[in-house]
Amino acid sequence: MTLGTPPYSPRSVTILGSTGSVGQNAVELIDYHQGQFTVEAVTAHRNVALLAAQALKLRAKLAVIADPDLYPSLCQALAGSGIKAAAGEEAVIEAALYPAELVVAALVGSVGLKPCLTAIERGAILAFANKEVLVSAGDLVMQQVKKNGATLLPIDSEHNAIFQIYDPHQRDHIRRIILTASGGPFRTWSREAMAAAQPDQALRHPNWSMGAKITIDSATMMNKGLEIIEAHYLFGLAAAKIDVVIHPQSIIHSMLEYEDGSILAELGAPDMRTPIAHALAWPRRMSSTSSKLDLLTIADLQFFAPDLVKFPALNLARNCLLAGGAAPTIMNAANEIAVAAFLARQIGFAEITALVDQALNKIPNCALTSLEDILAIDFATRQTTLALIKQT
Ligand code: MG
């Protein structure tokens, strides 16, 4: 642990997915704490201009663009800087191999599985935002974390909140985790109005500023479904001990209830820079550029039960967790395809969750024993879901 005793040596960091919402916030915080961090590698999907600017600003050793067609542009942007440029999926895995103490896992989707496993296999600390990886391959990922002495630090605000108040020695005395959910942009909409919602309406999240995929997941509440599964793996609690409550203000980021009746909560402004700063500095603390919470302005905190009829994704996810095997993998892959199709205006809003349900009915559940099994089911589900979309 390089951040153990003063004088602290800089912590080495790699950011997988540096141009996304979480990645950009991580870059901002690292830049804000000049001298506290060194950067091994940054990777992005297609945003070459921002990736190159980040690599130059942070003086990274390696910059990787996942789309190989963009390799010449990256080389050009980094010419003369001494920063190594690389492209393609294998190069993203190479970035995860660079010897950073902490890897910010901020890719979107199960595409992050191999890079995350690579960082886990070398025992890194993962500041973990890529929840689809835990949903798609939770058993395998947690086995590898244990086997290799790696650490998962949740960046997802709910799980980061639980992590901050969770005492692993008292796990048997936890009555339940209470994940809070804003309810998304359609909390007060009718089912009919929701069914006709357009991408720009679904992308207007009331509280959080996030990427497109997670914002659509918030609108269907599949995001909270994914988070139930994420919480199960991170904290080792059964599905029955993970509850969801609607809290439209997003001030309480989640709660933990112990059997003696105590409920512990973490509060803050809805600003991802707080959990990202917490993970980057852990087990220490550092200042953050995030907004501050003024308690006097939040006198009215509300809590409601989720509407499971309007948001069927919540129970769908819970049932997949209970079913186990390939069900969560199928659910996640079908959802990734369905969300992309909605954003491309190929399907309506109500069809997102309906398609996930159809994919789950069409593909038989089975046990997953290896990475190859997971990748095969993930691929087959994508093909099946694309075929289902063509039929609509
Ligand atoms: Mg969250």
**What is the tens place of the pLDDT at every residue in 22-69?**
999 999 999 999 999 999 999 999 999 999 999 999 999 999 999 999
**What is the tens place of the pLDDT at every residue in 136-161?**
999 999 999 999 999 999 999 999 99
Q: Ligand 1 centre and the CA of 318: distance in Å?
A: 16
Predicted local confidence at residue 369, as pLDDT: 93
Predicted local confidence at residue 35, as pLDDT: 95
Q: How confident is the model at residue 7 (pLDDT cuts 50, 70, 90)?
A: low
- Look at 174-178, 294-298, 328-332, 374-378 and tell me which has the smallest mean pLDDT: 294-298
Q: Ligand 1 centre and the CA of 102: distance in Å?
A: 21
Taking a C-beta distance cutoff of 8 angstroms, is the pair 137, 219 a contact?
no
Q: Ligand 1 centre and the CA of 227: distance in Å?
A: 7
Closest C-alpha among 336, 369, 281 to residue 133:
336
Q: Are strands 252-258 and 62-65 parallel, antiparallel or unpaired?
A: unpaired
Predicted local confidence at residue 210, as pLDDT: 87
Average pLDDT over residues 86-108: 98
The sign of the torsion formed by the CA atoms of 211, 213, 214, 216 equals positive
Predicted local confidence at residue 4, as pLDDT: 46
**What is the tens place of the pLDDT at every residue in 233-284?**
999 999 999 999 999 999 999 999 999 999 999 999 999 999 999 999 999 9
Q: Ligand 1 centre and the CA of 113: distance in Å?
A: 19
Give, as one character, the DSSP assignment of residue 205: -
Q: Ligand 1 centre and the CA of 21: distance in Å?
A: 13
pTM attached to this predicted model: 0.96
Taking a C-beta distance cutoff of 8 angstroms, is the pair 37, 13 a contact?
yes
The sign of the torsion formed by the CA atoms of 300, 303, 307, 308 equals positive
Predicted local confidence at residue 208, as pLDDT: 85
Q: How long, in residues, is the chain?
A: 392
Cβ neighbors of 380 (< 8 A, separation 6 or more) are 363
Q: Ligand 1 centre and the CA of 74: distance in Å?
A: 32
Distances from the Cα of 88 to the Cαs of 23, 63, 203, 235, 320, in angstroms?
Answer: 19, 11, 29, 34, 32
Res. 135: pLDDT tops 80: yes
**What is the tens place of the pLDDT at every residue in 332-377?**
999 999 999 999 999 999 999 999 999 999 999 999 999 999 999 9
Residues less than 5 Å from ion ligand 1, measured at CB = 156-158
Q: Ligand 1 centre and the CA of 225: distance in Å?
A: 10
Res. 6: pLDDT tops 80: no
Q: Ligand 1 centre and the CA of 238: distance in Å?
A: 19
C-alpha–C-alpha distance, residues 373 and 308, integer Å: 32
Q: Ligand 1 centre and the CA of 157: distance in Å?
A: 5
Q: Ligand 1 centre and the CA of 131: distance in Å?
A: 9
Q: Ligand 1 centre and the CA of 82: distance in Å?
A: 37
State how far Cα 1 lies from the chain centre.
25
Q: How confident is the model at residue 1 (pLDDT cuts 50, 70, 90)?
A: very low
Predicted local confidence at residue 298, as pLDDT: 84
Predicted local confidence at residue 281, as pLDDT: 97
Give the mean pLDDT of the chain: 96
Q: How confident is the model at residue 209 (pLDDT cuts 50, 70, 90)?
A: confident
